[in-house]
């Protein structure tokens, strides 16, 4: 009986400490694609709950791809955002899989899948609080691209350092 009380107390203290450390991650969601195919006109939708307008964030995308099926060296993406007061923003970026020397960026797993993480937007500020809608889509010229296993989209709070 005493043992379970101690475990309960330790779990309660640990959860309070973890919650009070400040949540730096605003969003961290992973999506997998049916048949490893990302359709051009089927964007991935994310709802973002912004509570502060003074904080800035970095947006990161992690893609896991089968390089035998998707043979390009990069993947262009588009992020269409809408704020609660219906302000719209469109952001473009390109996820690089190889550098200029032709070397792979990221790492390969035991199944031969490449995982690449890239920051696609730095120091982003939300203009209003509330639920923001974000649609992330591939913007290649193809209707469907094959070989994309999964997409992870993360928004993490960062500190903006001004030069002295």
This prediction has a pTM of 0.82
Mean pLDDT calculated for residue range 35-59: 95
Measured over the CA atoms of residue 29, residue 118, residue 136 and residue 51, the dihedral's sign is positive
Measured over the CA atoms of residue 158, residue 152, residue 119 and residue 83, the dihedral's sign is negative
pLDDT tens column, 114-140? 999 999 999 999 999 999 999 999 999
pLDDT band at residue 162 using 50, 70 and 90 as cut-offs: confident
């Amino acid at each position: 009986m005493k043992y379970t009380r101690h475990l309960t107390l330790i779990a309660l203290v640990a959860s309070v400490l973890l919650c009070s450390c400040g949540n730096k991650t605003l969003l961290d969601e992973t999506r997998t694609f049916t048949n490893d195919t990302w359709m051009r006109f089927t964007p991935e939708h994310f709802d973002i709950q912004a509570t502060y307008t003074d904080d800035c964030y970095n947006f990161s995308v992690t893609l896991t791809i089968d390089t035998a099926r998707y043979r390009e060296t990069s993947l262009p993406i588009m992020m269409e955002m809408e704020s609660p007061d219906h302000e719209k923003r469109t952001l473009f970026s390109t996820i690089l899989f190889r550098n200029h020397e032709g070397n792979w960026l990221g790492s390969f797993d035991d199944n031969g899948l490449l995982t690449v993480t890239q920051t696609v937007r730095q120091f982003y500020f939300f203009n209003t609080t509330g639920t923001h809608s974000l649609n992330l889509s591939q913007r290649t010229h193809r209707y469907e691209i094959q070989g994309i296993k999964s997409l992870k989209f993360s928004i993490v709070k960062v500190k903006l350092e001004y030069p002295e």
